[in-house]
Homo-oligomer: A and B are copies of this chain.
């Protein structure tokens, strides 16, 4: 907060509220004051929130009318300007809060846009979070191994997705972390091919990309396999992507720039003539969100200096960060390959959170 220039902060991002307070209901916000954290939720969650606040480390306010009326009251109750999360508050809510504060005599400057204050804290996971992510990684690996064993020609993509999601539930996941991707045959060329009613055939490449939320934390895994005997081209592309993934994982270590990790994968694919076929970044952070910092991708020149109130997130890795490494190659009309694992950056390199054999084919 000091780096963003504020002494108070209105937190409106649900995962940021969860990280600060432990509250994981669907609706809440929080205000960080110099001497306390205030959790704001509504009557539906009174019981759960009261239990969380019982040890006195946190204050609790239940919404009477609307969330934003309560938030405006809390902001108005303090003298110092309040930071807002510019990335997690709409222009409309900001305008609305400003109008209510102005009606109460608080002028321009009562609200200060900030960026990435809480996200900076979430970047490096603590021991408790790492243990959850390890357990989630073990569990999703078991689901993947089972799903790969059950895969066969004649099944529809949708049925495979349903079986994967049922497997996640049985394994203790609260829900899928995103729409499950099952993309077979030519559809494997779609980096985001949600499961369709296509029936898979012998010889198809099949991309399975699925994620789960376990105890609030997200993991994400992809395997691509051929159903039956692979063609030489499938073996070549699959091998190149697997090698690119290994190179990126080998590059993981504290102090390494995320763009270097991305470049490690990209260089391998370029060597195999597949540079233009890798159309997305190499990976992303995992935690309370399935896509969070750090982004593992090419360095991007910013079009202007960071805006005031921004906490600039580091572009180098640190021990305790958790990322996916998921290079891919996509050839329209033919198919594609993506291989993804989840890794914890450690003091000396990286620890695999997911452990699933990388197989070229199943039958």
Contact = CB atoms under 8 A, between A and B. Distances in A.
Interface in A58-114: 65-66, 69, 84, 86-92, 94-96, 99-100, 103, 113
A140 interface: no
Contacts of A303: 69, 100, 103
Contacts of A211: none
A194 B173 CA distance: 13
Given A89-B91, A90-B89, A169-B158, A307 B191 contact: no
Contacts of A229: none
A95 B90 contact: no
A94 B158 CA distance: 39
A146 interface: no
Nearest to A168: B162
A121 interface: no
A236 interface: no
A26 B332 contact: no
A166 interface: yes
B103 A95 contact: no
A88 B90 contact: yes
Given A65-B300, A88-B90, A162-B166, A307 B95 contact: yes
Nearest to A193: B44
A209 interface: no
Contacts of A99: 304, 307
Interface in A144-183: 158, 161-162, 165-166, 169, 174-175, 179
A363 interface: no
Nearest to A189: B47
A28 to B, nearest CB: 12
Contacts of A304: 99-100, 103
Contacts of A161: 169
25 contacts: A25-B192, A26-B192, A44-B190, A44-B192, A44-B280, A65-B300, A66-B300, A69-B303, A86-B90, A86-B91, A86-B95, A87-B91, A87-B92, A89-B90, A91-B91, A92-B113, A92-B307, A96-B307, A99-B307, A100-B303, A103-B303, A103-B304, A158-B169, A174-B194, A175-B179
Interface of A: 25-26, 43-44, 47, 65-66, 69, 84, 86-92, 94-96, 99-100, 103, 113, 115, 158, 161-162, 165-166, 169, 174-175, 179, 190-192, 194, 279-280, 300, 303-304, 307, 332
Given A87-B91, A91-B91, A165-B165, 19 more contacts: A25-B192, A43-B279, A44-B279, A44-B280, A66-B300, A84-B91, A86-B91, A89-B91, A90-B90, A90-B91, A91-B94, A92-B307, A95-B307, A99-B304, A103-B304, A158-B169, A161-B169, A166-B166, A175-B179
